[in-house]
Structure 1
């Protein structure tokens, strides 16, 4: 199955190169990239925070689009050939570079041959290991070219302090591509940094005033909160939502929740988890939602949601789950 997927991806990338060679400045439908201006940088990103930070830092000097459709799962999404063609016409492609987006490493190599600047936004960030003792065992069962990253937590953007580094790497790339507007990029970055530092303090305040530190989550995406703020995530699935628990592990989760009187099971906005539903039913617990920010819905886009509005929603969920 993996070999077939790899062959398909290779076919997509080869097709892309052929098509791009015949249409250097047009989209796959033969039209110019929509709403672009000659002096704007055309940028594609993966997860929503990268898109949002790039817009905030770049301002009117950039046109930014995510390759992910609404509510996509970053762990499993694969771009279409049409999307790859558009990406090959861009000035910049930004992805995390930490094994989250399965297609991105191959895309990186291909896009650079088309003179697209590519950056890994997580450059310089030290990743933490999963707190799941069985994560290595899960990883061994999945034959994947990124298996060596399977025990490292890629969800760095959920930590406001580490998000500053993501934003700074984006800012540096924009300055390199458009040095004449360095001042604007620097000023916008400083404003974003101030907002992220304020968000960091809000997390500290919520945890400091909480009755407990444990939360039950459907997916182990919140290790950086544990590392930074002391929030203990009891995860039903591993770092990848496909890493499901054994019957023994499931029983231990339920026993732990009952012992600590945990009344909530926290789901995510873009990932369904049948096993988490079972845990919720067994405990008679209330369902809550955390937004992992990998992608957003069409409705959230229409409502003008950004990184900070979604993270503040997460803070409200934490207040309830932690018993503040």
Structure 2
């Protein structure tokens, strides 16, 4: 019966053929491996935040009809947990559970500080700076996995393996796509390292800890970041503390995100000499193609550089 079940799943690739990914950057990776073979659909709409999204009836339908669903895991996309429980496990890839990914996960409590800003009802409202202990959304690991080129290769390999098992007739194309993706990562790394090397040691704040994997990979360290739940506004005492940090340190840039309003950040930065930049963790303006993941990381690098190199 198990063999028959797998055969039916594989057969669906030849008739409807669609991969559904939770967020756009995962779709970038899937599109590179599936280029010229099958379609890729993105579940999270443009401009939405993965932290508070609620599935629509049409989303449920896409998941039910998908031949393969690729997601990070319930720690990041909690809205997908129940719908995916009804799908066969061979129809899904839970990235955080891949053996090649688990060894690359970064702990959220990697920074420790002697005190908290003040006491709040729940930990999502804490503000994190360098050396400040924090458990992001009560998770042990940081789940913004798509920011790591190393993990991206592991994701690509998992998608390649899954498709190869169901589409052996496309072996040559799948192998070529995977090799192309790996080669493009190597080329991209040279470009990004050249862009970011002069910026090591720069002082800046990011909106929240979505960039830890990218920053560690390319040797950047933020001075601090707003580690509140992105949907919860910080209290007045927190805002005052951040403002004092901005005034007392030579902060070059404060980065906001297109998914969230930067009004509060700009308000507490008034009277300081900081520049403002935008980091887009979801690649909002990048179209899906075999090169979209590389374009996504290069654009992030450019966004860092454009703000941190301002006079």
Q: Which residue of 21, 39, 42 corresponds with 1:63?
A: 39
**Counterparts in 2 of 1:87 and 1:68: CA distance versus 1, 3 Å:** same
- Residue of structure 1 equivalent to 2:301: 315
- Residue of structure 1 equivalent to 2:213: 224
Moved over 6 A (4+): 302-305
Find the residue that maps to 2:142 and give its secondary structure. coil
Distance 2:197 2:206 in 1: 20
2:136–2:142 Cα contact (<8 Å) kept: no
Scaled by the length of structure 2, the TM-score of the pair is 0.77
Distance 1:187 1:243 in 2: 45
1:211–1:322 Cα contact (<8 Å) kept: no
Q: Which residue of 263, 284, 293 corresponds with 1:296?
A: 284
The structural deviation recorded for 1:247 is: 4.9
The structural deviation recorded for 1:184 is: 1.3
The structural deviation recorded for 1:205 is: 2.5
Unaligned runs of 5+ in 1: 1-35
1:221–1:239 Cα contact (<8 Å) kept: no
Q: Does 1:158 align with 2:136?
A: no
Q: Does 1:128 align with 2:106?
A: yes
Find the residue that maps to 2:66 and give its secondary structure. coil
Aligned ranges for residues 188-207 of structure 1 at < 5 Å?
188-207=177-196
Find the residue that maps to 2:34 and give its secondary structure. helix
Q: Does 1:279 align with 2:265?
A: no
- Bigger relative contact order (CA 8 A; separation at least 6): 2
**Counterparts in 2 of 1:138 and 1:46: CA distance versus 1, 3 Å:** farther
Instruction: Identify which range, 270-279 or 153-162, moves more after superposition.
Output: 270-279
**Counterparts in 2 of 1:231 and 1:249: CA distance versus 1, 3 Å:** farther
Find the residue that maps to 1:49 and give its secondary structure. helix
Q: Which residue of 167, 170, 173 corresponds with 1:181?
A: 170
Distance 1:194 1:273 in 2: 37
Distance 2:160 2:150 in 1: 16
Kindly tell me the number of residue pairs found equivalent between the two proteins. Answer: 280
Aligned ranges for residues 238-257 of structure 1 at < 5 Å?
238=227, 240-242=229-231, 245=234, 247=236, 249-257=238-246
Q: Which residue of 66, 84, 109 corresponds with 1:108?
A: 84
- Residue of structure 2 equivalent to 1:84: 60
The structural deviation recorded for 1:277 is: 2.3
Find the residue that maps to 2:78 and give its secondary structure. coil
Scaled by the length of structure 1, the TM-score of the pair is 0.74
Q: Does 1:237 align with 2:223?
A: no
- Residue of structure 2 equivalent to 1:19: none
Distance 1:280 1:90 in 2: 46
